[in-house]
Each structure stands twice: as C-alpha cells, then as structure tokens.
Structure 1
Amino acid sequence: MTERKRGESPPQLNLNVKRAAKSSPRSLKPSTWAPTAPKATTATPNVKKEEVRRYKNSFNDMLKHRNGGAVEASGDAAPLATSKEPMKEAGRVQPGELSQRVAHLESDLAAAKTEHEVLRKELEKERRYREADLVTIEELRQQLAEKGLEDHLLRQNHELRYRLMGLEEQLVSRGHVPHRTPERQKLEKEADDLSLRLHAAEKESSERLRQLLSLKSSISSLTRMESQVTDSDLTESFTQVANRVREWTVSNYRRARPSFDNLPKEVHFTLKTICPCYMSDIKNTDRLTLYQAIISDSLMQILGSPFIFGVPDTGPLAAIRPLAEQVQDSGSAYREWIRATIQALEHSAAHINIQREKEALLHRLCGDICHLLFNLTSTTITPNAQSALNSIFKDAVNLQRTLILQRARYQVLFFRNQDGAMAFDDCTMEAINDPNPSMEEDSDMDMGRTLKFCAFPGLVKYGDERGHHPEMRNILLKARKQNQRIEDILSTTQNEGEQIDAIAKIRGWFSPKEDSFYYPIIQDYLNDKIETDEAASKLFGPIDEKINAVKLDDVDFMDFWYSVIHSAKRLTFRMGDEVCSHAKLLDLLEAFKAHAIPNNETYNYLYQEMTDFDMACRSAYNDTPVPHSGFIHSEVAAWANMNFFYARVTQEKIRDLSFYAIFALRMALETPLADDAESTVAQQHDAHVPAAAAWISGCGHNLFRKEQDLSPSDPKQGNPARGGALWKGIPGFNKERWALWKERFAAVAEMQGIKESTRVVAKDAVEGMERSEAHELMR
C-alpha cells in the first residue's frame, strides 16, 4: 500500500472485504514506524506493468498485488475509536471475486454518472422554466398597472358623464322645459345617425381628396409642369427679397444722412434716373427709402433680364440675349424655346462659364452699390454687410430664373419718373404712406397724387399657368413707393416707449390728447417722481372740483382712461416676472375706485363704478397690430402689454375684463392661420401669441377656475365668446377649452420658423397653466 501523507484522514470507504477466518494477533509491543519509499520506486515483481499504472478507482490504492497478494493495513492507520480490540490482518480475497466486485463498482459508478447528468439537465430545465415564469410575472404586473390606469380613466369618464348629465338637468330646469325621455332619446338617435353620416362623409371626402391629389400629380408629371410655381409662391419670394433689402438698408444706413453736394457724375446720373428732382424732392425722412430704391435699381438688371442672368456678352453665347429680346413677344413658342435653351445650357460645358460670369457680375453690382452709397453718405460698410448684400442678389438671380421658366409671361415693373410728374396709379402702385392718413375712405385720394420715386419693383402676370390667354392681366405685387414712416421713426430712436408713442400717432390709436392734463401726471407717477397719494390728489382733485360745480360734462373720463391704457402699453411686459410691471397702475386704479368726493357723497358712484372705463377698454382693443410685410416689434409689444394690463385688472378684481381673454386666445390659438400677402403664419404667431400668453401670466388662476357659459340668449346679440375653428364647444370658459389652449401653446412652442422669444413665451404659458392647475388642487 502506498504511503499516505501525514496529516490526511483515513479514507472512509466500505469495500466489504471478507477477512480470513484465522489471523495472527497484532503484537502489543510498540512498533517503530519507518517511512516507506514512494510506490513508484517500490519493486512489484508479481504485478503487471499496465496494472501498476491503474489509479482510476480509489480501491486500487489499497491493492498491492493483483494475483493473490495480501492486503495490508496502512502503517499509520489509527485504530477505530469504538473498538478496544487490536486490529487484525485482512484475509486473502479470491481473484475472481475481486474482479466481480471491481466490475460491479464500475457499473455503479457509470450509473451514478448517468443519473448525475440527468439531474443536471433537469436542473437546467427548471432554471429556464423559472426565468420564463419571472418574465411572465413581470408582464402580468405591467398589465395589472395598465389595468389600474384604465380603471382610473373609466372612473374619471363615468364621473365626467355624471357631471355632464347634471349640467344638462340644470340647463333643462333653468329653461323650465319639461324633461321628456322619449323625445331626448329620439334626438340622441338622430344625433348619432348624423354623427355616423358625418364620419362616413369625412372618410369619403378624405378618400376623394387623396384620389384628387394623386390625379393632379399624374397630370403634372404627364404635362411636364414640374418647374411651375404658384402665384402666391412668386409673390412671397418677391416680398422676401423686398423685406431683405429694407432690413439691410436699415441695419447699415439708418443713421446715415445723404449729401447731394459734389457728387460724382455716375452717382448724379443714378439718382436722376430714380428721382429726376432729387435735390428738392428728397427729404430727410425719405433717405432710407432712397437707399432702397438705389439697390432696387441695380436689382432690375437681374430681374428685368429676358434670359438667365450671367450669359457672357462675348463669345459664342453673346447672341442669345439679343435674340431673346427680339422674340420675347412670340407667345408660348418663346416660352418653350427659353425653357429648352436653359435646360440645354445647364447640362452642357457652357454652364461653368455662365456661373463664372454670374459671380463676376454680382461682385461688380455689389461693389457699385457700396461705392455709390459711400459717395452719397460717406459710410463704409463691413465685409459681412457686403456678403449679406451679395446673398440678396443671389436670391434675386434664382427668382429671375424661376420667372422665365414659367409658361405664363411675367413682367417686372420699376417706375422711373423721368417727366417728374407721373400720376400715381392705384392699380400698379402701392403707396407706402398716404399723404393724409386722416382722409375719409370715400374722399378723392387720387387728387394731386404724383409719383416721387419707386422703392421696389412690382410684378404683373400675363396669361394662365399654361401660357394661354395672354390678354389676361393679373397684378401680383404692387410697386412700393416712398419710405415707411414708422420704419423711419424706429430707425432713429431706440426707446420702445417713444416708438410706441410714434406708432400711436401714425396708426391713429385711441390714446391721450396732445394737451392731455392727465397723461403727464401719470408718467411722473410711473417714473417715481411722485407718490401714489400725491398723484391721486393731482388727478382726482380737478375732477372733484368740476363735480362739485355741477359740471360733469367737463370731466373727460375718456382722456383719463386713455392715458392709463396708453401708459400700460408703454410698460414692458415679460413672462415670469415676480414683480408685476403694471403694479403702480393697478394701485392708481384702486385709489380711483376707493376715492370719495369731499362733502359730496352723492357722486361717489362715479369713482366706484369707474365711469367710462369699460368703453375706453373696448375702444383701445381695436388697436391691434397691423401686418405690412410682417409686423412691427414695438407694435406687437404694445399689444401684449395692454393685454397683460387687462389680465391684471381682472386678477385683482378691480374690473372683470376676462371677456378680452377669449378674444386674445381665440385669435392666437383657436384660429388656423395661413400665409397671406402681408404676413406669414410664423409672423402671425409672433404677433398674437405673446398677447394670449399675457393672460395666462396675469390671470391664469382665475381663468382656470372660471366656469361660465356665455352663449347669447338672443340671436340678435351675436356670439362674441364663440370659439375659433379649432373649438367646437360652448362659448365661454370651461376646463375643456382650457385644455385646448394648453395643447395649442405646447404646439406653438415646438413650431419651426417662429421667433425664439415666441417659443419661450409659449413654453412659459404652458408652465403657467400647469401652476394654475396645481394651485387649484392645493386650495
């Protein structure tokens, strides 16, 4: 037997080895232990070589001889603790019996391994089942959560239906109309039938519209109209170029004053071409429009070209332009020739030469304009400004190419008053400002009106989209003349309050009188020159004197209220301000309402009822922003400031002006907007959304709590609280309309093309509405 390492415990194997019948007792003398050599070095002459290496089974370590060898106990084996008798030697085992036992043990070991493998597979299968069960449990948990949400929504739906039924019963009882169930069921059935028919009609209409669009697309592809654009698109493109010219002029020359002394000959010739009597006719207020006219005069070299801009004047292509000028009156044949020639040139090697010539011509035109304006104003513009001007001219080149590719014929009109007395034509000319805005509409506006100079060209279309009926004439864009008085004033002052004052005069707003007694005092009060008590004494004292003198007709309450409202327009309103920008005006109104006439209580109602205040508010609400190639920022700001003032008056319960909230919110959020000749959808949102948001900021809590049906009791009264096209509910205030406003504010906040300030205002409005909702829950 091999030597066991010291410290190892004896093996606990039950080999069931039979011991010999007789065995010699172990000596009781203490034996000396001597280490034995490793088995590998022990001679075993009676054992085969291949069996010496057999160590696969544990019992082999206990066998020394295969063929009848004696089995010896380990030399260091300890006696059993339960036995006090000495260890006896094991008897000899027969070889056949030993082989059987080995075979049996090997069979048991193989069976155990097989069983172990089966158990391992079962365990793995159970593990997979457990993972699948966990996934199923998680899905069930989510379904239970969703089911809970659905139950909540169902309960909320039932509650809302219950409230609706209660409201219907109240309306029935209020109108003293008996509740007749059969009739109601009949009406409901008819309403359901109509709804089904409406749904079917809408579905059929959508399908027909889809078929129509598909048909139009097919017709367009068959008739090769891919390069044709609508008149509205052309008008919009022209308007954009005109606006960019005006903005570029204002940005770079708003402070530049022209000097007509010692001008070079080329400058004198250009000015005389635009305005023959420029020395006497051009006033200081006309300077910005004159600069625009100079740029437009150069643009006509592009827009008025009969062929694409950039064709060289020398070389083999030089004859194309004169040929186009000679045959441009030949009708549809000329249009087809133009289209085919342009397409051929753009797909040939000559296109590179045309592009190179176009860049050179644009560079020269921009340089000539900058040089001319420098001689006229002594103002040098920056390279960035020159790059912006070049970009405008490139857009004009693209616009000119679009025009000549159309089947209809378009003519660009730029009037030059060479005779010095060209009559003003309302059909083809658009006056930037009327000579006398106070004239009545039915007066003779054309009397004595003559053209001074043209600021930007107009556009006229001849024929239809297919080039037929050339006798048809449609003026798409009137030519613009003179300067815009408002733009001139805005370019000379940076103070928004002064800009609003100037706009009020030009627009004819409802505002204080020129010699108003009240307006200067209110301005001193707002500028912290006097306190509230002193302002009240100065304002109300003269009114009291006239009332005590029984001269009520001499009290001009309207001028007082116009002074207050116009002052509100001048106070900058911003979303999110913790301090109300109109707080001092509200304090003044509170003082007015609480004022008592000394020794004459009879007429205190004139103050308590705020005489003529409602009339003044209604009149001032007509001063909406006016579109004209967009909106003026200061005018939009004044509109929002006034709406915020109305909202704060309502929130502080000084006067209920909530009716105007519907006007502002309906225009901005309930009415689908569309591009028109004066403004785009984005510009319209920029103009109206701030005023609507002002109501949320100034009176959001009250508007959310307000539940009021403003349906007219008499059809003759009209329906001023009606909804826009996006609101089909009852006219008035309710939670559903509030939810629509909130949804529309969120949509505007994500809209492309609007100003960043408008997007921020819309986001702030959504947050303000959420605060109002939370505030109501906490009450």
Structure 2
Amino acid sequence: MAEKEVPSSPGSSYSEPEPWIAGDPVSAMADGLTPFERRDREAAEKIAKIEADDALDEGAKIDAVAEIQGWFRGDTKIIDAFLAGEVDEATTVERLAAPIDEAYSTANHGTAYYREEQVARSQRKYHSKEKAYEMWGPEQDFPPPTDEASSLPTTEGQLWELWYSVLHASKRLPWRTPPSLASPAQTKLLSLILALRARPDPPSPSPLTVPLQRNWIWQSGRLWSALLMLGPSARESWNDGCGCGAGWSAVEQRAWANVNAFVARLTAARAADFRAYGVWALGDAFESAVDGRGSHRSTTRAVQLRLYVTVAAAWVLLAGERMYADRARPEPADVVGVSVPADAKGKALPWLHKGEEYMYCTARWDFWRRRFEREAGNEAELGEEVRELCARAAETIKGLISSSSS
C-alpha cells in the first residue's frame, strides 16, 4: 500500500526549485532576469520606500505592501473598529455575521434554487429515472434570478471575504510584547473569533431541495460552529508567505510571523485545527533539503533562517502543547527511540512523506529540540532576541517530552 504523504507547506523546499526560477537563460530577458525576477526586484524597490516612510505606521505599511504583492485580504473596516475599541464585541459579531446568515438562509437571496436546479437537470439525463430521482430529487421549476438578486453577495463569497479580512488584520498585530509572549491585540481578535464560533448556526434554506443540499455550502450548515471556510481561506493566504507571495523585507517578515502566531493561537484555543501549519513552519526551519530556499529572492540565508526559526518558535511556544498532546499513540515502531543527527535534512529524516502517525512522533520533536538548542547558540547568524526564542522553544519541547514519559 502506498504511504500517505504528510502535507508540505506552500513553496515547500523539500523538492528542487524549477530551473527557470533560478534564472534559466532560456527564460531570462536581455537584462539577465526572468519576468518573475524583474517583477520581484521592482516590488522590492517599492517596498523599500514604504519601509523608509516614517509617516506610515506598521499597519499602513503592511496594507501598502499587501497591495503591491497582491496578497489575499478582505475589507477590515468592521474588525479595525472593534480592535480600536470603537465597537463592542457583540455588535461586531452581528455586523460581520448577519449578512452571511441572511444569504445562507435565503439560498443566496433565492438565486441558488434556480442555479442548482439547472445543474440537476444537466445531470438527471445521464441516469435512469429512478436513479436520477434518488440522486437529484424531483424536477422543480424556479424563476431565473433577477439582476438585483444576482448582484447581492453570496454566502461563499462573504465567507471568503470574512476570513481573508481576519487573517490580514492579524498580520498587522504584533505577535508578542518582548520579552513576554503576550499580544493584547491578537488576544482581542481571538476573542472575536471565539464569539463568532459560539454564534448559533443559521437555519437552513426552506425548502432545502435535493440539488441545493448537494452543494457543499449547504450540506452541514455549520457556518459558525465549524468556522466554515476559515481553513480554505488560510490555505490560500499561506501562498503569501515570504519566499512565495512575499519578499524578505522586514515588514513582510513581521507580517508573516504575526499571522502564523495568530493561527497558532487559534489552534491552541481549539477554535480551529491548523497543527499542520505548525509542522510546515518547523519543517521550513529545520528539515529543508535545499539550503538557501527562496534564494531567487534578494535575501541571505541568515535573513531566511532568522524568520523561519522565529515562526517555528512561535508555533512551539503558543501551540506546542496542543500539537504534542495530539500525536499518534502508539507511535510507529520504526521511529521509536530513533535519534537523528541534528544536521540531517530531507530524505535523511525518517518521518518525512509518511502517514499522519509520523507527523508528531517523539523522535521528530526531539530532533526539533536539538535544532532549537543549536540555533540558540548561533551568534553568527541570529540576534539575541531570536536566540532567546530558540532557547525557550527547546525548553518547552524538553518539558513536553519529559512530562509524557514520566
């Protein structure tokens, strides 16, 4: 039986980059740059000016960079007002959720009845009468939607917008207040998400026709109790990480660390399950088979290392207990008691590209611990603050392993 692959992160460095990304001469233009490299250079020049603009605060800089890079983001006006203390939590939840509830319970203002029935009619003809009825229900007549109804935002569209706005807002919120891990702003945003999650799910459309019910957005109806569409929205947003949809400017690095920390907080609070994203972060920091990942971007290994270990440490410090507690038991026999050299990478790591039971195995945690310990002493490439984070992460993992074995 083929082994199940563990998900890898966006732009994962577990495989060699495409040759044109590194500047393949066939793809390069007269100046020796590929179109992508030229675009990156132009974007970096614009972002450097934004970083140097003292008239902009951090949030405004991140917004400006997001515009240049084309990041996934939604309208954050309602969330911004809440974070600024201008609107209370209950009012904010109502403003965000009520339009989505209305669209859901009315089947996108009635438009989905007609459209889903048209889908059903296109499918019924491929089956016997009995099978068509079983799969798609009876044929029904619904009037075509009016232009006015069609112009209204859909349930799915509004959910994408909501979660993009939440994730973008988190990029503008510092993930910690050194030396503390506290982040009052991120804690407040997390409270808002928990309040949304506690909101009653809206009633299903009535009638809930068979074609309508077969559309995934109508199946469970758990818009809030499952934070429907948060997962797909985050997965798209992760394409905007440094070295993928972002460069390596200081403001982009801070935004990436902030959103990772916020998603780690969501995970620790069990509001959502993004544990795999923590594994991606630790993999980027310590398990990459290719040194200098993202080297086609204008940066150095030290810059990349600093960001990767910072994000990895944030995951361990904020959500490590949740990640460790949910590891598979019993663990796969072929990694029990294994001690992998701290400098091992890629295929030398026995847990990579295997089933989920390997994802959080103790041997892997111990490997991460030793890598954090090594980086905690890396004065040549890492500053004191980052080395301190590494030391704290190593101690956290040491405590997790020790508590589970006692």
Q: What's the TM-score bracket when you normalise by the shorter of the two chains? A: 0.5 to 0.7
Q: Counterpart of 1:735?
A: 362
Gaps of 5+ in 1: 1-424, 438-479, 712-722
Aligned partners of 2:103, 2:53: CA distance in 1, in Å? 42
CA offsets, 1:692-740, max 9 Å, x none? 11111111112222323999xxxxxxxxxxx834522354111110000
Aligned partners of 2:319, 2:100: CA distance in 1, in Å? 31
2:107 touches 2:205 (CA, 8 Å); kept in 1?
Answer: no
Deviation of 1:774 after TM superposition, in Å, equals 5.8
Is 1:507–2:69 an aligned residue pair?
A: yes
Structure 2 residue aligned with 1:545, among 102, 112, 116?
102
Indicate the SS of the match to 1:708: coil
Q: Counterpart of 1:323?
A: none
Is 1:767–2:328 an aligned residue pair?
A: no
**1:568/1:481 CA distance change after superposition, 3 Å:** closer
CA offsets, 1:377-428, max 9 Å, x none? xxxxxxxxxxxxxxxxxxxxxxxxxxxxxxxxxxxxxxxxxxxxxxxx9233
Q: Counterpart of 1:588?
A: 192
Deviation of 1:667 after TM superposition, in Å, equals 0.8
Q: Counterpart of 2:232?
A: 615
Structure 2 residue aligned with 1:568, among 152, 163, 170?
170
**1:436/1:680 CA distance change after superposition, 3 Å:** closer
Deviation of 1:776 after TM superposition, in Å, equals 5.2
Indicate the SS of the match to 1:484: helix
1:644 touches 1:698 (CA, 8 Å); kept in 2?
Answer: yes
**1:554/1:644 CA distance change after superposition, 3 Å:** same
| Residue type of the alignment partner of 1:765 | A
Structure 2 residue aligned with 1:700, among 310, 317, 320?
320
Deviation of 1:758 after TM superposition, in Å, equals 2.4
**1:776/1:495 CA distance change after superposition, 3 Å:** farther
Structure 2 residue aligned with 1:686, among 306, 318, 343?
306
Q: Counterpart of 1:559?
A: 161
| Residue type of the alignment partner of 2:387 | R
Gaps of 5+ in 2: 1-27, 110-152, 207-217, 333-344
Deviation of 1:482 after TM superposition, in Å, equals 10
Is 1:428–2:45 an aligned residue pair?
A: no
Aligned partners of 1:737, 1:595: CA distance in 2, in Å? 38
**1:495/1:481 CA distance change after superposition, 3 Å:** closer
Q: Counterpart of 2:48?
A: 487
Deviation of 1:770 after TM superposition, in Å, equals 3.5
Please, which moves more after superposition, 661-670 or 487-496? Answer: 487-496
Is 1:750–2:377 an aligned residue pair?
A: yes
| Residue type of the alignment partner of 1:484 | E
Alignment of 1:129-278 (within 5 A): none
| Residue type of the alignment partner of 1:741 | W
Q: Counterpart of 1:655?
A: 272
Identity %: 26
Indicate the SS of the match to 1:608: coil
Indicate the SS of the match to 1:622: helix
Deviation of 1:436 after TM superposition, in Å, equals 8.0
Alignment of 1:354-433 (within 5 A): 426-428=29-31, 430=33
Deviation of 1:618 after TM superposition, in Å, equals 0.7
Aligned partners of 2:241, 2:255: CA distance in 1, in Å? 9
Aligned partners of 2:361, 2:39: CA distance in 1, in Å? 47
**1:765/1:581 CA distance change after superposition, 3 Å:** farther
Indicate the SS of the match to 1:589: helix
2:261 touches 2:314 (CA, 8 Å); kept in 1?
Answer: yes
Is 1:640–2:247 an aligned residue pair?
A: no
**1:488/1:578 CA distance change after superposition, 3 Å:** closer
**1:737/1:557 CA distance change after superposition, 3 Å:** same
2:65 touches 2:252 (CA, 8 Å); kept in 1?
Answer: yes
Structure 2 residue aligned with 1:527, among 72, 84, 88?
84
Aligned partners of 1:766, 1:436: CA distance in 2, in Å? 39
**1:579/1:428 CA distance change after superposition, 3 Å:** closer
1:521 touches 1:535 (CA, 8 Å); kept in 2?
Answer: yes
| Residue type of the alignment partner of 1:503 | V
Deviation of 1:637 after TM superposition, in Å, equals 1.3
Deviation of 1:435 after TM superposition, in Å, equals 9.2
Deviation of 1:430 after TM superposition, in Å, equals 4.6
Deviation of 1:483 after TM superposition, in Å, equals 7.7
Q: Counterpart of 2:130?
A: none
Deviation of 1:536 after TM superposition, in Å, equals 0.7
Aligned partners of 2:321, 2:33: CA distance in 1, in Å? 47
**1:746/1:699 CA distance change after superposition, 3 Å:** same
Aligned partners of 1:568, 1:619: CA distance in 2, in Å? 15
Aligned partners of 1:498, 1:653: CA distance in 2, in Å? 31
| Residue type of the alignment partner of 2:102 | E
Aligned length: 296
| Residue type of the alignment partner of 1:547 | Y
Pick 1 or 2: higher relative contact order, CA cutoff 8 A, min separation 6.
2
After superposition, the CA RMSD in angstroms is 3.5
2:106 touches 2:205 (CA, 8 Å); kept in 1?
Answer: no
1:592 touches 1:607 (CA, 8 Å); kept in 2?
Answer: yes
Q: Normalised by the size of structure 2, how large is the TM-score? A: 0.64
Aligned partners of 1:532, 1:689: CA distance in 2, in Å? 34
**1:608/1:598 CA distance change after superposition, 3 Å:** closer
1:572 touches 1:641 (CA, 8 Å); kept in 2?
Answer: yes
